Structure 1
Amino acid sequence: MIIGLLTAVAASACYGTGSVLQAVGSRKSAHREAASDSTTGVTQHGGPSLSSTAKAAVTWEFMVGTVLDFIGFGLGALAARLLPLFLSQTVISANLVITAMLSVKLLGIRLTRPEWASIAVVCSALVLLATAAGPEGSGHTPIDGHWWLLAASVAVIGGGTLIVRLLGERAAIFAGLLSGLGFGALGVGVRILNGIDPFHLPSLLGDPALYAILVAGIGGMYLHTVALQIGSVNGATAALVVGETVVPGILGVLWLGDSSRPGFAWVAILGFVVAVAGAVAVAWFGESDAHTASATTGEASTPAPASGDAVETAGQPARSRSRMRVGS
């Protein structure tokens, strides 16, 4: 249990740091697009184009953040096999706290009191979950379930990509939520993957769960990048937390046999609900701040100070906010 918790905490640190570095890279790319009067950075609905997302992905900050994401993935995969999913996914999702702390330093964001309070709620919920967690289930499931996981991963990532491109700048929280569902499917896939223990390459390559992991992981990273481009970094990450935590936690209990300590089921349920509620609150307050800043700054030609997550738009030319909607 201790090794699993330490692994999950390390994965959370990698994911949280990676998210902020990716946000820095996304914003830097957006500034360059705006400065060059590029008209290819957005779709007709106002969302980021594939080319603008690709340009964001080749900034050095984004690449370092991606490396940290891969390290976090490896650590998270190990934690998913050592802990119940409702615990491992929630601890990993505490990267929200790290994201918020680092965004103050690297993105110039000033968090509001409600955001700090919401983050404190998430931390308290993690303590409840760690106290209540019992042994993880076996993870052995019929192969039909692996095929269903692959189909669900394709539907979430494929359908989500299409919808996000249609909704444009209004899809930040939605993109964060779908990326979280992708990462949640990844965690479930790692848990049920055949051919790992003991290692057997033909079983591994023939397992649909392996391809569900690839689809959900790569697609989740893409949708998260889009969310960072068009919305509040804390709001997008909080929405990711909800998607990454709720569905895997429920599947872990109902499908994989995860359980709490005897007599602590109510503590686990309380901790789970409070963690999700805290993450939703961070997303709500962060997105409200971003919209307030957009409404108050309008088309001003000089940067204007803002509060909360709105500081992400300060220092960015009005042309970038009005045309690109990246980093606002």
Structure 2
Amino acid sequence: MIVAYGVANLLQSIAASRTTMHHTLDPGLLVRLLGHRIYLYGIGCQVLGFFLALVARRDLPLFLVQASVAAGLGVTAVLGVVVLKWQLPKSEILLLAALVLGIGGLVMAAEPAPSRPLDLIGKISLVLALLIIAGLGFFAVRIKGAPGSVVLGALSGLGFACAAVAARPLASSHSIFEFVSSPLLYLVIAHSLSAQLLLGLAMQRGSTNAAVAAMDAAGAVPAAVVGLLLLGDRIRPGLTWLAALGFLVTLGSVIALTRYAEPQARTDSAPDLAAEDAAPAAPSDVVSHRRPAANTRPVRPVVNGHTPLMDLPTREYPALSETSGR
């Protein structure tokens, strides 16, 4: 699950950074993202991670599963260094090591147990939470830059936390019919889709680390509290201190990673890759071996502040002229 979510974060962030910027809570963003093959690969990894997490939630407490989801950020960072040449400072490497230790402490402290059923009040609360998160997202989408990335990522985390709360008792269903007919299944789908939309908007406004860290930090705490209070999550006797320490170290490491997150370099006028994939390349899009003209400059796509490892073709765009009035 950790590896699947880490790969999904990386692939989806690349697709989001190459899609036209959205300044409204437009579900059409998901449609445009689905036009990118790389985003579909990311969705595939996320679906795999979701089902693995669902199996884990059948017996494992939410404070362990949700904190483990946060560890996917470490996989994303490592893949970014290897594939996209991201630059990680030594402090961030130490935080990734602390993240691993925190997860290890949670694994040792968690006691497997089936979930308690969620009553009618709990289900109604999840419906109200969906409406509240959507309303806050309507206003938060107007925030630009890294702050917008963090706020939208946090709202996305709350959505995924609600989905996790609904999924824990849902995973204890005794038959396929009980699973499909349960309203919890449709609450999981609704919260997951809205959270996915908010995460896509967050990744457009800042770095992958900032968006995902805010999502994980905001999603882990509410789910852990609800699991311990209402769903029957258990801690091994005498290891409450280890569970608390592991949870704090994990969340602290994830939150601290946002300090080193650099905004992605992009402009609102950047071409939408969905349109480019659908239309044949124009003559100007063909790789040229001629020397650039005097009034042109080469432009390379940038992901997370760094040029991808692959040697992508350059394009020649007319440079802005002070005398032309453009």
Same fold (TM over 0.5): yes
Instruction: Evaluate the alpha carbon distance shift between residue 265 and residue 312 of structure 1 in structure 2; reply closer, same or farther with a 3 A threshold.
Output: farther
Q: In the alignment, what sits opposite 1:245?
A: 220
Distance 1:144 1:89 in 2: 23
Distance 1:90 1:98 in 2: 14
Q: In the alignment, what sits opposite 1:172?
A: 149
Q: In the alignment, what sits opposite 1:85?
A: 62
2:90 matches 1:113: yes
Distance 1:218 1:52 in 2: 12
Q: In the alignment, what sits opposite 1:29?
A: 19
Which residue, out of 277, 298, 306, partners 1:311?
306
The structure with the largest alpha-carbon Rg is: 2
Q: In the alignment, what sits opposite 1:217?
A: 192
Distance 2:74 2:259 in 1: 15
Which residue, out of 35, 44, 55, partners 2:32?
55
Distance 1:281 1:116 in 2: 11
Q: What's the CA shift string for 1:14-47, capped at 9, x where partnerless? A: 11101101112223335xxxxxxxxxx443xxx6
Q: In the alignment, what sits opposite 2:41?
A: 64
Instruction: Evaluate the alpha carbon distance shift between residue 118 and residue 312 of structure 1 in structure 2; reply closer, same or farther with a 3 A threshold.
Output: farther
Distance 1:51 1:192 in 2: 32
Instruction: Evaluate the alpha carbon distance shift between residue 18 and residue 66 of structure 1 in structure 2; reply closer, same or farther with a 3 A threshold.
Output: same
Distance 1:137 1:243 in 2: 25
Instruction: Evaluate the alpha carbon distance shift between residue 235 and residue 223 of structure 1 in structure 2; reply closer, same or farther with a 3 A threshold.
Output: same
Q: In the alignment, what sits opposite 1:36?
A: none
Q: Is the 8 A contact 2:160 2:191 kept in 1?
A: yes
Instruction: Evaluate the alpha carbon distance shift between residue 129 and residue 139 of structure 1 in structure 2; reply closer, same or farther with a 3 A threshold.
Output: same
Q: In the alignment, what sits opposite 1:198?
A: 174
Q: What is the TM-score when the length of structure 1 is the normalising length?
A: 0.76
Distance 2:88 2:12 in 1: 19
Aligned ranges 1:119-158 → 2 under 5 Å: 119-156=96-133, 158=134
Distance 2:194 2:22 in 1: 19
Which residue, out of 8, 15, 19, partners 1:18?
8
Distance 2:248 2:80 in 1: 26
Instruction: Evaluate the alpha carbon distance shift between residue 77 and residue 303 of structure 1 in structure 2; reply closer, same or farther with a 3 A threshold.
Output: same
Distance 2:86 2:92 in 1: 12
Q: Mean alpha-carbon deviation: is it higher for 229-238 or for 20-29?
A: 20-29
Instruction: Evaluate the alpha carbon distance shift between residue 309 and residue 212 of structure 1 in structure 2; reply closer, same or farther with a 3 A threshold.
Output: same
2:255 matches 1:269: no
Distance 1:69 1:127 in 2: 23
**Structure 1 counterpart SS, 2:231:** coil
Instruction: Look up the equivalent residue of 1:17 and give its one-letter code.
Output: V
CA RMSD of aligned residues (A): 3.0
Percent identical: 26
Which residue, out of 254, 259, 263, partners 1:284?
259
Structure 2 unaligned residues grouped into runs of 5+: 267-296, 318-326
Distance 2:299 2:25 in 1: 22
Instruction: Evaluate the alpha carbon distance shift between residue 303 and residue 59 of structure 1 in structure 2; reply closer, same or farther with a 3 A threshold.
Output: same
Distance 1:184 1:312 in 2: 34
Distance 1:51 1:260 in 2: 43
Instruction: Evaluate the alpha carbon distance shift between residue 148 and residue 48 of structure 1 in structure 2; reply closer, same or farther with a 3 A threshold.
Output: closer
Q: Is the 8 A contact 2:29 2:197 kept in 1?
A: no
Distance 2:118 2:25 in 1: 39
Q: In the alignment, what sits opposite 1:159?
A: 135
Q: Mean alpha-carbon deviation: is it higher for 167-176 or for 63-72?
A: 167-176
2:224 matches 1:229: no
1:59 is displaced (CA, Å) by 0.8
1:48 is displaced (CA, Å) by 8.3
Distance 1:48 1:251 in 2: 28
Structure 1 unaligned residues grouped into runs of 5+: 1-10, 31-40, 295-300, 320-328
Q: How many residues matched?
A: 281
Q: Is the 8 A contact 1:147 1:209 kept in 2?
A: no
Instruction: Evaluate the alpha carbon distance shift between residue 74 and residue 282 of structure 1 in structure 2; reply closer, same or farther with a 3 A threshold.
Output: same
1:110 is displaced (CA, Å) by 0.7
Distance 1:180 1:113 in 2: 27
